[in-house]
């Protein structure tokens, strides 16, 4: 397994690893001096998540790379085209993030249970959302915030397209499961946080991108505040008639632009921790 070197030094101190979430009301980090879209294309932060040939948990087979490559071809056929996103989807061993009994389905385009009534998003949805935050960028993103770590799969995908990933989970059991799942990958640019992601994570702000894996009534104001100018937020949110749609928020110097995309089905965004 290839280890990757630590990311380049940040312009100001950041929380250590494991980082701790602020209590509500703690001062937000300065929103100046950020790095909305970093220019570290293929830089030292690009981690390789283990050997191409998997050790076959749950009978995925000796060549999980071939199964992932087939998944990537299906994603391309569905319209995913960003090279870094396709590379990340082809690299991260999704079967290592689900129970052994489900590993055989890991490369099907289906969401799967990960415990505590939560699910890992289907690969096409992960690829779609990650592509949205990478759209128009050939270089690696700067800091990315993920709300809803779940089993850690999407965080691993994000670690391939960004310099640093801060990911928050409100269920302690899943936060710990994600830590276990991610440990063998040695992704030193992934910071696992336990807490209520509705507050975002001000210490890491501003973020080049924010991506939520759980949907609420509205997009929390803290997320938009913590987004860098030039940054993009992608989240499921309830729209008219009780539907849930993907919403994109682009923050520019001129203001904030909302775009409502296709209907989606994500687990609910809940406040507090459990």
Per the CB < 8 A criterion, the answer to whether 200 and 223 are in contact is yes
Could you tell me the smallest distance in angstroms from the CB atom of residue 254 to ligand SAH? Answer: 30
Ramachandran class of 224: left when φ > 0, alpha when ψ lies in -120 to 50, beta otherwise: alpha
Contact flag: residue 196 with ligand SAH (CB under 6 A)? yes
- Catalytic residue among 38, 121, 159, 162, which? 121
**Residue owning tokens 């570290």:** 40
Closest CB to ligand SAH among residues 35, 131: 131
Give the x-and-dash track for 221-260 against ligand SAH (CB under 6 A). Answer: ----------------------------------------
Closest CB to ligand SAH among residues 164, 196: 196
**Separation of CA 69 from chain center:** 21
Ramachandran class of 96: left when φ > 0, alpha when ψ lies in -120 to 50, beta otherwise: alpha
Contact flag: residue 170 with ligand SAH (CB under 6 A)? yes
**CA-to-CA dists, residue 174 to 66, 168, 171, 192, angstroms:** 29, 10, 6, 11
What is the rounded distance in angstroms from the CA atom of residue 104 to the CA atom of residue 248? 33
Contact flag: residue 200 with ligand SAH (CB under 6 A)? no
Contact flag: residue 209 with ligand SAH (CB under 6 A)? no
Residue among 29, 125, 141, 214 that touches ligand SAH (CB under 6 A): 214
Residue among 45, 148, 200, 231 that touches ligand SAH (CB under 6 A): 148
Closest CB to ligand SAH among residues 67, 214: 214
Give 62: exposed, middle or buried? Use CB within 10 Å, 0-12, 13-18, 19+. exposed
Q: What is the DSSP letter of 274?
A: -
The site for ligand SAH (CB under 6 A) is made up of 114, 118-121, 147-148, 150-151, 153-154, 168-171, 174, 196-198, 213-214, 267, 269-271
């Amino acid at each position: 397994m290839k280890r990757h070197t630590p990311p380049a030094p940040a312009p100001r101190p950041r929380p250590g690893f494991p980082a701790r979430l602020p209590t509500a009301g703690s001062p937000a980090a300065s929103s100046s001096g950020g790095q909305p879209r970093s220019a570290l294309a293929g830089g030292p932060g690009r981690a390789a998540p283990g050997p191409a040939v998997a050790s076959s948990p749950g009978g995925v087979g000796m060549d999980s790379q071939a199964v992932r490559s087939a998944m990537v071809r299906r994603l391309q056929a569905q319209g995913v085209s960003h090279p870094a996103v396709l590379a990340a989807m082809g690299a991260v061993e999704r079967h290592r993030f689900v129970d052994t009994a489900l590993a055989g389905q890991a490369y099907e385009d289906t969401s799967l249970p990960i415990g505590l009534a939560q699910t890992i998003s289907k690969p096409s949805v992960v690829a779609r959302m990650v592509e949205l935050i990478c759209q128009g960028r050939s270089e690696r993103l700067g800091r990315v915030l993920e709300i809803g770590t779940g089993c850690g799969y999407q965080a691993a995908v994000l670690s391939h397209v960004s310099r640093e990933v801060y990911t928050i989970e409100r269920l302690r059991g899943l936060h710990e499961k994600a830590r276990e799942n991610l440990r063998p990958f040695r992704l030193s640019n992934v910071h696992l946080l336990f807490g209520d992601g509705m507050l975002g994570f001000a210490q890491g702000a501003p973020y080049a991108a924010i991506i939520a894996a759980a949907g609420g009534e509205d997009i929390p104001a803290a997320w938009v505040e913590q987004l860098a100018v030039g940054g993009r937020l992608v989240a499921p949110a309830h729209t008219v008639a009780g539907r849930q749609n993907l919403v994109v928020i682009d923050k520019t110097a001129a203001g904030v632009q909302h775009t409502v995309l296709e209907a989606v089905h994500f687990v609910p965004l809940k406040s507090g921790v459990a």
